[in-house]
Amino acid sequence: MWRWIKNILQIEEIPENLISEEENISPSHQIYIEKILQNLISSRAILNIQFPKTDINCVSILLEANKRNDYIIIDEITPTEGHNKALQGHPFSITTREHGISLSFQSRLLKHVDEKNVSFYYLPYPHEVQYQQRRKAYRVPIQSEKALRADIFLPNQPRLTAKVSDISVTGLRFVVKYNIMELIEGIRYIDQCLLISPYAKPTTFSLEVRQAFYDMSIKSTVLCCEFMNISTDKQLFLIELVGKLQHNQVMDRFKSK
C-alpha cells in the first residue's frame, strides 16, 4: 500500500540539508537498528508517541526506513493534538514493541507532507535505540529439542547436552537429564554455551548461573542463566531467534485448530 501511495504522490528523497550530521555509528549497530525498523514495518507495529510535559497519547505506524538518506517516514499522528505539536517543532519520544521487547527512541519532525488526503512525516533515522528491559523480555517456551538445544562446556569436563526449556533475549533455562550439582558447585559463570537451532547458525554465549537445582520430579538438573557480555551481533542473533521461535509457536497453535 505504501509503495502504491509513493508512486501516486511521486514522493522524492528528502533534501539532505534538512538532515543534521550524526556521530559515526558502528556498522554492527547500524545493522541491528535497520533490522528492528524493517521488522516494525512488516508487522505494522503501533508506534506510541509521547510529547514532553503532556498527557496526550498519540499513535502512528512506521512506513519506511531509509538508512542511506538518513530518514524514516511515519503515518499521520493521531489525535490532532499530537499532529499539531509535531508541526510546532516539539520533540517527542517513540515507543513500541518488537518480538515482545520494549523499544524507544527520541525524534522530531523534519518535514510534513499532506497531499491528496494522505498525511505523513519525515523523521531523522534513529541511530540510538533503547531496548531490552529485562522484566519485559518475552520468554518463549521450547516444546521440542529439535527447535533449540544447548551444548555446555564446563572446566575439565566433557561436553554436556541440555534441553532448553525457555529462552528470551536476556537469558535461558535449560535442563540436563541427570544430576550434575556436584559438577557445577561453586561455578557462577559458564564461559561456553553453544546454542544450536535449525533457524540460525550455531553461536556461543557466556552465561551467568543465577539458579541451579536438582528437580526430583523429572530427575534432571535445572539451570537458570543470564547472557553475559553480549555483542550487538549476538543481540541481533537472539532477537531473530526468539522472534522465529515465537512465530513458529503461534503457527503451530493455528495449525492444530
Contact 45, 104 (CB under 8 A): no
Residue 113: its pLDDT value, please? 92
Bridge partners (DSSP) of residue 151 are: 161, 194
In a domain, 1, yes or no: no
Final residue belonging to a domain, choices 131, 151, 166: 131
Mean pLDDT of all residues in 170-180: 92
- Measured CA to CA, the distance from residue 57 to residue 122 in angstroms comes to 20
Residue 27: its pLDDT value, please? 40
- Measured CA to CA, the distance from residue 146 to residue 164 in angstroms comes to 10
In a domain, 7, yes or no: no
Residue 127: its pLDDT value, please? 86
CATH number of residue 81's parent domain = 2.30.110.10
Interacting residues of 187 by C-beta distance below 8 A, sequence separation 6+: 154, 155, 209
Bridge partners (DSSP) of residue 112 are: 121
Burial state string for 60-91 with b = 16 or more CB within 10 A and e = fewer than 16: bbbbbbeeeebbbbbbbbeeeebbebbeeeee
pLDDT-derived band of residue 53, with 50, 70 and 90 as boundaries?
confident
Final residue belonging to a domain, choices 80, 114, 131: 131
Residue 224: its pLDDT value, please? 94
pLDDT-derived band of residue 98, with 50, 70 and 90 as boundaries?
confident
Mean pLDDT of all residues in 116-125: 90
Residues 188-244 pLDDT 10s? 999 999 999 988 889 999 999 999 999 998 999 999 999 998 888 888 888 888 888
Dihedral angle computed from the Cα positions of residues 39, 42, 46 and 49, in that order, rounded to the nearest 10 degrees: 60
Amino acid at 74: I
Residues 149 and 124 in one domain: no
**Cis before 15 (ω within 30):** no
Predicted TM-score (pTM) of the model is 0.52
Final residue belonging to a domain, choices 77, 96, 131: 131
Q: Can you spell out the DSSP letters for 155-196?
A: TTS--EEEEEEEE-SSEEEEEESS--HHHHTT--EEEEEEEE
Residues 113 and 194 in one domain: no
In a domain, 3, yes or no: no
CATH number of residue 204's parent domain = 2.40.10.220
Count up the domains in the chain and report the number. Answer: 2
Q: Report the mean per-residue pLDDT for the chain.
A: 83
Residues 66 and 122 in one domain: yes
Residues 89 and 27 in one domain: yes
- Measured CA to CA, the distance from residue 9 to residue 191 in angstroms comes to 55
In a domain, 158, yes or no: yes
Residues 85 and 158 in one domain: no
In a domain, 2, yes or no: no
Residues 101 and 155 in one domain: no
Residues 148 and 108 in one domain: no
In a domain, 87, yes or no: yes
Residues 13-46 pLDDT 10s? 655 555 444 444 444 456 678 888 888 898 888 9
In a domain, 74, yes or no: yes
Residue 243: its pLDDT value, please? 80
- Identify the helix (H) or strand (E) that includes residue 122: strand 118-124
What does the chain come to in residues?
A: 257
User: Whose CA is closest to 81, among 124, 118, 36, 51?
Assistant: 51
User: Whose CA is closest to 103, among 90, 114, 91, 93?
Assistant: 93
Instruction: Identify the residue with better confidence: 109 or 10.
Output: 109
Residues 97 and 66 in one domain: yes
User: Whose CA is closest to 35, among 126, 116, 109?
Assistant: 126
pLDDT-derived band of residue 90, with 50, 70 and 90 as boundaries?
very high
In a domain, 84, yes or no: yes
Residues 110 and 189 in one domain: no
**pLDDT at residue 8 is higher than 90:** no
Residues 102 and 175 in one domain: no
Residues 191 and 145 in one domain: yes
Cell digits of residue 12 = 522524492
Residue span of the structural domain in which 31 resides: 13-131
Residues 120 and 205 in one domain: no
